[in-house]
Structure 1
Amino acid sequence: MNINNILVVSPMFIELKALIEKEKLHNNFRFKSEEEMLQNDIGWADALVTFNLKSDYDYSHVKWVHSLGAGVDRFLFQKDWNEEVLLTRTICSFGQRIAEYCLSYILKDLQFHEEFRVLKQQKNWLPKTPKLLNKQKVIIYGTGEIGQTTARILSGLGMEVYGVSLSGRAKEDFKEVLTVDSHLSHLKEMNYIINTLPLTEQTASFFNEPIFKQLSNAGFINVGRGASISEEALLKAIDDNHVSFAVLDVFPQEPLPKDNPLWNHPRVYVTPHISAVTTPEEGVVCFLETLKNLEENKPLPNKVDCKRGY
């Protein structure tokens, strides 16, 4: 593919510009914030590097779109995509970052951080024995790169890790990979649930009352997409002790509205979509590698299957 003009649109366009210009590439670049981007910029570009598309612009001239994030639902979910346009995504340390994010909240739970914080405030010396990781079972929804890395790290610490995918195909570091048709029967024995699923037609509102009812006081961590869960069903599951606590990093609307009841629930932890942040350095490395592979007609491991949505 012949790529001459590349438009980079991002809140961190200044940092990206400084890093890319060091490479002395033959391509022509324009660097813009989302607010500064105009239709004539898109008309000039052969390729667009960005986090999302503005719905009121015409992108038909662009040959290649590269997502600066791992998720591509902002490009594909409930939208018509021109299959002649190549879509790639960023692959970097997301799996490692998400695994450490999840592990931090699992350890917080097993080590009784909240209980000991309250006891300290009460000046109450009340010993309680922490639980061990190697006695815990976790099920990870999504067995792609992020799910696999999370499984490798958690299983390496002794946890019994299960996975859920559409195919149910066995993968390394999972004790067993279940299909979406067979996972329910395993949920009662799980201590922790981790969602890393992309947002597609099949995963929208996937975590709802029928799933939460199968849990037995389990911790729920969502690092996939906010629209994959029913917030109302989740809050009911917490109040009914099907879910012991919830850690939520992603939401259907971001920033999370101030009147959302998730903010005030004592057993819900809210973080502002930081479990897998694209740094300028990592974003540029993946973009440059993709550009090189594209220009040399090499395989693209980060090519998105637009029909599947990931």
Structure 2
Amino acid sequence: MAILLHCQADRQARWAAALAQASGEIVHLWPQAGNLADIEIVVAMSPLPVPLDMFPNLRFLATTGAGVDAFLKHPEAVPASLPLMRLVDETLTRSMAEYVLAATMFLHRDFHRYAAQQRQQLWRGLTRRDPPQRTVGILGLGVLGLAAGALLRQVGFPVLGWSRRPKQADGIACLHGAAGLAEIAARSDILVSLLPLTPDTAGILNAALFATLPEGASLVNAGRGGLVREAELIAALESGRLGHAVLDVVAEEPLPPGHPFWTHPGVTITPHVASMTVPETAARIVMDGLRRARRGEPIPNLVDRAAGY
């Protein structure tokens, strides 16, 4: 049997080597697929431009990252009968938690303000607050959100969490639903979004939500660019309602030349690097799923298509 890999050209060699080592199977690089009947699993960053039922022995499709919105917005690309496995990897989770902590500390210790003062050649200390005096709210209490919340709590930040449905988490005040969304916004000095992009979450970071935040609050978005209504974010920054935004994801990637985010003093951009998949660990997880499927056991981390993640 064989594996079909579809990923960025600059990542192909590393992914292919990791999958071959983890599985001992032949790895084909799309668009080369060899004997179609040999393909047992597709590992992909985005939908293939061909119907997957052309592979008669395909067991499931595994994503190369945590996000699955690229697949779900094209339901014809992944048949409903085909299991879709999202990547849940401790290495990826730890990387995201580190990014959230780094972005939070960047805002908490006023690095963005000191950068502005440097451009003005201004030497002036700002009033410092201790972590217990600054509340961090996390939108999205999945694996990534819980890990980020745990790391923030270790530093001393009070942490609130929000999800669409009720959840419980040690040390995190959990809120849910529309009322909970309004409450977490009103109480958060720094609001972190790690939500998946679904029809329910698209545009959730909008003018109405920004108006609920405390004056001068900050935003960190490491979820998906489509969560943000970008013009409304810029307006909130211009008005002073928002003090700063750290964005790892944007609606159009790469961010186009001339986009206001590039030069806006209230925006810090990173190029979708908050949590990058490590092929060597990810391949072992994908292959564990394949071995389970071969034994007739449940495949882990399957996507709930109705929920969107």
In structure 1, the residue matched to 2:273 is 274
In structure 1, the residue matched to 2:212 is 214
Partner AA of 2:244 in structure 1: F
Q: Are the equivalent residues in 2 in contact too, given 1:43–1:59 (CA < 8 A)?
A: no
Alignment size in residue pairs: 301
Tell me which moved more, 229-238 or 74-83: 74-83
1:18 is paired with a residue whose SS is helix
**Gap change, CA 1:292 and 1:258, over 3 Å in 2:** same
Partner AA of 2:192 in structure 1: I
Question: How much does 1:125 deviate?
Answer: 4.4
1:184-211 alpha-carbon deviations (Å, 9 max, x no partner)? 1342231011111111111111111111
CA distance in 2, matches of 1:43, 1:250: 38
In structure 2, the residue matched to 1:169 is 167
1:204-233 alpha-carbon deviations (Å, 9 max, x no partner)? 111111111111211101111111110011
Question: How much does 1:71 deviate?
Answer: 0.6
1:247 is paired with a residue whose SS is strand
Q: Does 1:46 align with 2:40?
A: yes
Partner AA of 1:31 in structure 2: H
Question: How much does 1:167 deviate?
Answer: 0.9
TM score, norm. by length of structure 1: 0.89
Partner AA of 1:210 in structure 2: A
Q: Are the equivalent residues in 1 in contact too, given 2:249–2:271 (CA < 8 A)?
A: yes
Question: How much does 1:122 deviate?
Answer: 5.9
CA distance in 2, matches of 1:42, 1:262: 45
Q: Does 1:74 align with 2:57?
A: no
Question: How much does 1:128 deviate?
Answer: 3.1
**Gap change, CA 1:205 and 1:116, over 3 Å in 2:** closer
Tell me which moved more, 43-52 or 139-148: 43-52
Question: How much does 1:166 deviate?
Answer: 1.2
**Gap change, CA 1:125 and 1:21, over 3 Å in 2:** closer
Q: Does 1:6 align with 2:13?
A: no
Gaps of at least 5 residues in structure 2 are none
**Gap change, CA 1:224 and 1:291, over 3 Å in 2:** same
Structure that is richer in helix per residue: 2
Question: How much does 1:70 deviate?
Answer: 0.5
1:183 is paired with a residue whose SS is helix
Tell me which moved more, 81-90 or 42-51: 42-51
In structure 2, the residue matched to 1:106 is 104
Question: How much does 1:161 deviate?
Answer: 1.0
**Gap change, CA 1:261 and 1:24, over 3 Å in 2:** closer
1:8-42 alpha-carbon deviations (Å, 9 max, x no partner)? 222322112223333463x4x2331xxx5157776
CA distance in 2, matches of 1:125, 1:185: 37
In structure 1, the residue matched to 2:180 is 182
Question: How much does 1:119 deviate?
Answer: 4.7
**Gap change, CA 1:171 and 1:50, over 3 Å in 2:** same
CA distance in 1, matches of 2:136, 2:193: 11
2:50 is paired with a residue whose SS is coil
Gaps of at least 5 residues in structure 1 are none
Question: How much does 1:299 deviate?
Answer: 3.5
Q: Are the equivalent residues in 1 in contact too, given 2:62–2:85 (CA < 8 A)?
A: yes
CA distance in 1, matches of 2:261, 2:295: 48
Q: Are the equivalent residues in 2 in contact too, given 1:14–1:31 (CA < 8 A)?
A: no
In structure 1, the residue matched to 2:308 is 309
Q: Does 1:21 align with 2:20?
A: yes
Q: Are the equivalent residues in 1 in contact too, given 2:196–2:223 (CA < 8 A)?
A: yes
Q: Are the equivalent residues in 1 in contact too, given 2:160–2:184 (CA < 8 A)?
A: no
**Gap change, CA 1:233 and 1:7, over 3 Å in 2:** same
1:251 is paired with a residue whose SS is coil
Among candidates 59, 65, 72, match of residue 63 of structure 1? 59
Question: How much does 1:48 deviate?
Answer: 0.5
TM score, norm. by length of structure 2: 0.89
User: How big is the alpha-carbon RMSD for the aligned residues of Structure 1 and Structure 2?
Assistant: 2.2
Identical counterparts, % of pairs:
25
1:180 is paired with a residue whose SS is helix
Partner AA of 2:194 in structure 1: T
